[in-house]
């Protein structure tokens, strides 16, 4: 059966699904779309505007959490959800937080930085095969980043609030690590969801200054050692950044 992942380069929920496919050793094709335009293409194909979307034969599934559950049914081992009901509920809670809270923070962070440093956008293309050559993507980088920042609500107020709370979010992740909900011997769905969001933040110099060196950063790098893209520190105004304890 043909499996096709519809994705955006450097999209963190797409990285979550790609890692799950790799862990379960499911062969698939990846189709990378162009940001902004992907909304229309996804709406047409999946009836929803977001990536990731997965086709399994004629079946279409959209949403990283829905896709991971489908993959778990398709190939049960290695399991991404614990067999024990209590442990599974904890992993699902962390996974949901990674999707509903951290995902949006990382998205706002990336577009806030890229809209101020659009030349960095092409660094996120990495190995992706896009329908346009990279120099053309570079030409469209500024409007793409500006529109995406708007669509993803990467306003000054939201981004500053995210930055002010980031330390507490990392504390929460590390409490889950201490309790073994995250960072166990074998990766679970929450490791993949939260790790991908953190890994995207680590490509942004202004955020890496806060995240790097913390156990949460190790969690991200363990699941996602490589990640295309970099926006050097200094993209965001210095007064937005919380002071990091030395």
Ligand X SMILES: N[C@@H](CCC(=O)N[C@@H](CS)C(=O)NCC(=O)O)C(=O)O
List of residues contacting ligand X (CB under 6 A): 8, 11-13, 39, 49-52, 63-64, 99, 103, 107, 148, 151-152
CB atoms within 10 A of CB 89: 12
Q: Cα(195)–Cα(221) distance, rounded to whole angstroms?
A: 8
Cα–Cα–Cα angle for 145, 150, 154, nearest 5°? Answer: 90
157-185: b (≥16 Cβ within 10 Å) or e = ebbbebbeebeebbebbbebbeeebbbee
Shortest CB 52 distance to ligand X, Å: 6
Helix (H, G, I), strand (E, B) or coil at 55: strand
**Secondary structure in 3-state letters for 195-224:** HHHHHHHHCEHHHHHHHCCCHHHHHHHHHC
Please, which residue, 66 or 84, has the CB nearer to ligand X? 66
Helix (H, G, I), strand (E, B) or coil at 4: strand
Shortest CB 22 distance to ligand X, Å: 17
Please, which residue, 2 or 100, has the CB nearer to ligand X? 100
Shortest CB 75 distance to ligand X, Å: 20
Please, which residue, 50 or 115, has the CB nearer to ligand X? 50
Please, which residue, 122 or 193, has the CB nearer to ligand X? 193
Please, which residue, 45 or 214, has the CB nearer to ligand X? 45
Shortest CB 95 distance to ligand X, Å: 10
Shortest CB 78 distance to ligand X, Å: 21
């Amino acid at each position: 059966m043909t499996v096709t992942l519809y994705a955006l380069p450097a999209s963190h929920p797409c990285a979550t699904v790609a890692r799950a496919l790799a862990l379960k050793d499911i062969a698939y094709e990846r189709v990378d779309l162009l940001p902004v335009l992907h909304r229309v293409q996804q709406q047409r194909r999946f009836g929803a505007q977001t990536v990731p979307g997965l086709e399994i034969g004629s079946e279409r599934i959209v949403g990283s959490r829905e896709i991971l559950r489908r993959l778990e049914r398709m190939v049960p081992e290695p399991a991404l959800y614990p067999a024990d009901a209590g442990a599974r509920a904890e992993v699902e809670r962390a996974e949901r937080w990674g999707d509903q809270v951290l995902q949006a923070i990382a998205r706002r962070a990336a577009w806030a930085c890229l809209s101020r440093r659009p030349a960095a956008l092409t660094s996120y293309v990495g190995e992706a095969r896009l329908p346009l050559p990279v120099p053309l993507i570079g030409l469209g980088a500024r409007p793409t980043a500006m529109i995406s920042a708007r669509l993803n609500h990467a306003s000054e107020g939201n981004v500053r609030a995210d930055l002010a709370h980031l330390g507490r979010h990392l504390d929460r992740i590390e409490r889950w690590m201490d309790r073994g909900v995250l960072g166990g011997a074998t990766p679970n769905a929450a490791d993949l969801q939260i790790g991908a969001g953190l890994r995207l933040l680590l490509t942004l110099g202004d955020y890496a200054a806060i995240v790097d060196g913390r156990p949460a950063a190790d969690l991200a790098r363990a699941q996602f050692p490589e990640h295309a893209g970099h926006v050097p520190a200094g993209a965001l105004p210095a007064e937005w950044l919380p002071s990091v304890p030395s």
